Amino acid sequence: MSSRQPCSTVFVGNIFYEVTEDMLKNVLSEVGPVKSLRLVFDRDTGKPKGFGFCEFYDVMTAESAVRNINGRELSG
Split at pLDDT 50, 70, 90, the class of 67 is very high
Please check the confidence at residue 73 and state whether its pLDDT lies above 70. Answer: yes
pLDDT at 68: 94
Q: Rounded CA gap, 1 and 5, in Å? A: 12
> Which pTM was predicted?
0.87
Mapping DSSP to helix (H, G, I), strand (E, B) and coil, where does residue 21 land? helix
Split at pLDDT 50, 70, 90, the class of 2 is low
Contacts of 61 (CB under 8 A, 6+ apart): 8, 31, 32, 33
Residues 48-70 as b/e (b if ≥16 CB within 10 A, e otherwise) read beeebebebeeeebbbbbeeebe
